[in-house]
Amino acid sequence: MVTVDTGQKNMVIEGLVMAREWEALVTILKKMPVVEVVEVLKDLDMPDLIEVLGHFTEEEQGYIVSDFDPEMQVGLYEQLAPRRFSRIFIHMASDLRADFFQELDREDQLKLLPYLDKKTRENVIRLSSYNPETAGGIMSTDFATIMGDMTAAQAIEKVRRDAPSRKMIYYVYVVDDDMKLHGFTTLKDLIMADPDTSIWDIVFKDFALAEVDEDRETVAARIEKYDLVAIPVINKYGQLAGIVRHDDALEVIQAEQTEDMEKFMGIVPDEDGLDYPETSVVSHFRKRITWVASLAIIGVLSGMIIHRYEEAMSALIILALYMPMVADSGGNVGSQAATVVIRALALGQVTLRNWMMILWKEARIAIMLSFVLGIIAFGKILFLSWETDVPEQFSLFFIAFGISVALSLQVISATLIGAALPLLVKRLGGDPAVAASPAITTMVDITGLLIYFGIAVMLFF
């Protein structure tokens, strides 16, 4: 068997594209995974893309177009007659088909619907009616069902007739005449069972499921928890409405993590996600400026505090030298505390009812951190400032002690603020990630300055 390395294959593909040898190109593409086919096709001009797609079967075109990004799908729709596009549309994955349908404006939806068969039309309208943030909004109707009173042989024959996607044939769901879900079995169990075995003898009746109105992040976490290939989704009547696949769950988890990361860093989330190369400079500016500007205005308080203690800093210049050290230490431990609490909340490890346990635990951690950081700060001040002039009535040891005490108290307060703020935001119905890095840093800076100058005035003036 002769193998061709990836680099050589890419060179061959590039040569065929440049020579516009579409038939030879398609021969190679048909041997490649769909995701790699899409990577090749996305670089083609639309007329060439349409010509290349024409060399695939309509079913293959549906698989390929399913993997296009929404912009490419809409662009293809605009270039094709509704009748031609409908033949591709029918073969797209049901959940991605519904997502695309929602991307179209009302007029284009009405143009496309008459060319769809009744089953596809009803399926698209039903799936498009669900909130995108729910299980119904991400579920697929590409699944296989069998009846409990069938034998294994009859069940295999029905699965063959239904012809679900090869991707989703692992689980086979057991329903009654009203489509109420009673359990599931696997294709492996069906094949391995004696042909005359009753389905009830090999059905799993204890299983995880989701409801159509359930939050999609919760459903994705359940798929991850039970290590499922897919999870069934039922409506309020207990009927099987669809399934959420593991790859859909992975996309949800990735999207939610991106959103949390953006919120954590004070970036306004984007519904379409943050695609750095594709996002314009102005869009990046708009996403970042809100939090930065808001916190900069709030930061005026820091300036007012420093101005209030200007005389103290003039009398003891060394105080100004170590303000950044205190602020940085507070910001670091505050962000750490916020991160672990937000993660614990997101994973369901803790709830709001555990708030006292969380704060008590973080307080003990903060005391240990403050002890270590206080000692480091004390040594740092003595090492760096041994030649610094200080007023005769104070010794450098006493000043280093006072600054270290202030830093230690700042570490404790910052840790508690970092742990408490996400809990407070969640209690008020918000997203805990919003209470993360920039907001905590600003709050910690303000409280840190108050602690720092309060200790300084108490000890030195």
- Tens digits of residue pLDDT in 410-459: 999 999 999 998 898 888 887 777 665 667 777 888 888 889 888 888 88
Lowest mean pLDDT among 191-195, 256-260, 377-381: 256-260
* Higher-confidence position of 284 and 104: 104
Lowest mean pLDDT among 5-19, 52-66, 173-187, 284-298: 284-298
Integer Cα distance of 54 and 94 in angstroms: 22
Topology (CATH level 3) of domain 144-250: CBS-domain (3.10.580)
For 172, list phi and psi in degrees, rounded to 5. Answer: -125, 125
Mean pLDDT in the chain?
Answer: 84
Above 50 in pLDDT, residue 2?
no
Residues of the chain with CATH 3.10.580.10: 144-250
For position 117, what pLDDT does the model report?
A: 87
> What average pLDDT does this structure show over 166-190?
87
Integer Cα distance of 407 and 399 in angstroms: 12
For position 252, what pLDDT does the model report?
A: 84
Residues of the chain with CATH 1.10.357.20: 299-460
- Nearest C-alpha neighbor of 352 from the set 423, 258, 277, 248: 423
**Domain boundaries 299-460, CATH class:** mainly alpha
- 3-class DSSP assignment, residue 336: helix
Whether 16 and 25 have beta carbons less than 8 Å apart is answered as yes
For position 198, what pLDDT does the model report?
A: 94
Above 70 in pLDDT, residue 267?
no
For position 1, what pLDDT does the model report?
A: 40
> What average pLDDT does this structure show over 336-352?
84
For position 415, what pLDDT does the model report?
A: 94
- Return the structure tokens found at 359: 């704060």
For position 276, what pLDDT does the model report?
A: 62
Topology (CATH level 3) of domain 6-129: MgtE N-terminal fold (1.25.60)
Burial of 275 (0-12, 13-18, 19+ CB in 10 A): exposed
* Higher-confidence position of 165 and 207: 207
Above 60 in pLDDT, residue 166?
no
- Return the structure tokens found at 174: 């057991």
Spatial strand order in the sheet of 230-234:
210-211, 230-234, 240-245
The pLDDT tens digits for 43-62 are 899 999 999 999 999 999 99
C-beta atoms surrounding 223 within 10 Å: 23
Above 60 in pLDDT, residue 3?
no
The pLDDT tens digits for 129-153 are 888 889 998 998 888 899 999 999 9
Above 70 in pLDDT, residue 4?
no
For position 430, what pLDDT does the model report?
A: 76
